[in-house]
Amino acid sequence: AQKVTQAQTEISVVEKEDVTLDCVYETRDTTYYLFWYKQPPSGELVFLIRRNSFDEQNEISGRYSWNFQKSTSSFNFTITASQVVDSAVYFCALSEVYSGAGSYQLTFGKGTKLSVIP
């Protein structure tokens, strides 16, 4: 069965510092998708990125960047020059791809709470 581990429960950084959120996953499948979601205090989960298992290129979007390493089953998320608005809980999630019941479901990690201090 698939599993997602986010070992960092809480992180606090001072504004403008860089921060990396770790994500390690387990899956038996060779085809799968990885996601990051942000959950601000309002509660709604906001989609940030989707990456498939065949694409190991790192991705950058503004201050956000993602490092996908299949060899270590990791999909880490870095925020550069953090801002107070980045304060939220961040979830890493995995979706396996197969036919039948339960296909494409998201398995979430327990989340990392990021606090950015002004």
Chain contacts with another protein (rule: CB under 8 A): 4, 31, 33, 35, 37, 42-47, 50, 91, 93, 95, 97, 101-106, 108-111
Minimum distance from CB of 45 to another protein (Å)?
4
Which is nearer to another protein, 58 or 103 (by Cβ)?
103
Pairing of β 10-14 and β 112-117: parallel
Which is nearer to another protein, 62 or 102 (by Cβ)?
102
Minimum distance from CB of 82 to another protein (Å)?
22
Q: How far apart are CA 62 and CA 65, in angstroms?
A: 8
Cα-to-chain-centroid distance, residue 92: 3
Q: How far apart are CA 71 and CA 57, in angstroms?
A: 13
Which is nearer to another protein, 64 or 108 (by Cβ)?
108
Q: How far apart are CA 40 and CA 65, in angstroms?
A: 19
